[in-house]
């Protein structure tokens, strides 16, 4: 296993297990730099969203990196407003234009929106059939949302990207996704900006044992669970350090100790998708 190792999605497309997330990276030099630094550090997977407001800088960073398009895996997402306004196709085309790309590797419905998800999925299917997204999927869907989508979907989502970290390890939902053939991806795998997970004593103890950082232990835990993760950092050294995951293996006891941190699940500020209808 190394940074190029991919997980095979349900349509045969490979997604690198590790990607760079750019939520809360400012449009302009900040995003531009992190994308270039990540590609220099070996990342081939970049995860953005129209809601992040930084697709233009992601596109520029990709261009400046000089990496061949076909070596990269780029994800972006359809935001709630475009689902409510019926502007899904225009939104996708705008994302492509900002990213300066002819296609994305993965296009996701960012959040379920009551009454708008089914029609949005039909647009996603059209985009997939046009070849301008190599895979389509969803984000922040719980079991009920997936079941409802599957009732009349022609295409099964390739991915469900959800909040997942040691304080919300999502074992039930991840297993459900796996059963449906939907790959599970972790957003805010390190617990998000300003989160407390990186100071968690149980994780510190495990990290010291392996001579690794807490961030590396968490990302290795994702890897060993078969979860795709897109950690964010604006620091070049951390972007690089977050790739150093392939020279150690967590023991089953340590995996269990990390899983047990979920006994009192805690979400980041973005709300609970289980409160959203379909």
Which is nearer to ligand A2P, 133 or 250 (by Cβ)?
250
Binding mask 222-251 for ligand A2P (x = CB under 6 A): ---------xxxxx--x--xx---------
By CB under 6 A, is residue 91 in contact with ligand A2P? no
As given in the structure block, the two tokens for residue 204 are 């510190």
Beta partners for residue 133, in sequence order: 104
Taking CB under 6 A as the rule, does residue 21 contact ligand A2P?
yes
Nearer to ligand A2P by Cβ, of 215 and 261: the residue is 215
* Residues 6+ away with beta carbon under 8 Å from 134: 11, 13, 103, 104, 105, 106
Q: Cα angle vertex 11, ends 136, 118, to 5°? A: 35
Q: Is 45 exposed, middle or buried (0-12, 13-18, 19+ CB in 10 A)?
A: buried
Minimal distance, residue 181 CB to ligand A2P, in Å: 26
Please say which residue, 136 or 166, places its beta carbon nearer to ligand A2P.
166
As measured in angstroms, the least distance from the Cβ of 82 to ligand A2P is 23
Task: Give the nearest distance from C-beta 20 to ligand A2P in angstroms.
Answer: 9
**Nearest in space to 118 (alpha carbons), one of 88, 94, 92, 90:** 88
Question: Which residues 114-173 are close enough to bind ligand A2P by CB under 6 A?
Answer: none
Token pair of 108 as six digits: 């996701």
Is the Cβ of residue 97 or residue 196 nearer to ligand A2P in the bound state?
A: 196
For 261, phi then psi, to 5°, come to: -65, -10
Nearest-angstrom CA–CA distance, 268 and 271: 7
Of 21 and 112, which CB lies nearer to ligand A2P in the complex structure? 21
- Reported as half-sphere exposure (CB side, CA atoms, 13 A), residue 6 has a value of 13
Mask 170-209, x = binds ligand A2P (CB under 6 A)?
------------------xxxxxx----x-----------
Identify the residue among 96, 138, 215, 223 touching ligand A2P (CB under 6 A): 215
Catalytic residue flag (residue 128): no
**Annotated active-site residue in 17, 52, 107, 128:** 52
End-to-end CA distance of the chain: 38
User: Which residues are paired to 186 by β-bridges?
Assistant: 162, 229
* Closest by CA position to 124, among listed 114, 135, 115: 135
Least CB distance to ligand A2P at residue 23 (A): 6
Closest distance of CB 89 from ligand A2P, Å? 30
Question: Which positions are catalytic?
Answer: 52
Binding site for ligand A2P (CB under 6 A): 21, 188-193, 198, 213, 215, 231-235, 238, 241-242
């Amino acid at each position: 296993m190394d940074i190029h190792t991919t997980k095979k999605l349900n349509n045969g497309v490979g997604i690198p297990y590790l990607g760079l997330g750019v939520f809360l990276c400012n449009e302009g030099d900040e995003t531009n730099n992190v994308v270039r630094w990540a590609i220099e550090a070996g990342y081939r997977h970049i995860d953005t969203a129209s809601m992040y407001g930084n697709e233009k800088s992601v596109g520029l960073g990709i261009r400046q990196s000089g990496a061949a398009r076909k070596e990269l895996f780029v994800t972006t997402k359809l935001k709630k407003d475009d689902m409510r306004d019926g502007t899904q196709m225009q939104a996708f085309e705008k994302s492509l234009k900002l990213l300066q790309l002819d296609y994305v590797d993965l296009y996701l419905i960012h959040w379920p929106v009551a009454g708008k998800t089914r029609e949005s999925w039909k647009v996603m299917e059209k985009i997939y059939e046009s070849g301008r997204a190599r895979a389509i999927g969803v984000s922040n869907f719980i079991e009920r949302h997936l079941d409802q989508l599957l009732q009349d979907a022609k295409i099964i989502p390739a991915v469900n990207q959800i909040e997942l970290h040691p304080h919300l390890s999502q074992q039930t939902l991840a297993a459900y996704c796996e059963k449906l053939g939907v790959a599970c991806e972790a957003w805010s795998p390190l617990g998000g900006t300003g989160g407390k997970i990186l100071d968690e004593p149980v994780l510190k103890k495990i990290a010291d044992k392996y001579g690794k950082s807490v961030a590396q232990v968490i990302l290795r835990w994702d890897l060993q669970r078969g979860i795709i993760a897109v950690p964010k950092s604006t620091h070049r050294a951390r972007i690089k350090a977050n790739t150093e995951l392939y020279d150690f293996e967590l023991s089953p006891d340590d995996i269990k100790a990390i899983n047990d941190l979920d006994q009192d699940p805690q979400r980041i500020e973005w709300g609970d998708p289980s409160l959203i209808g379909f």
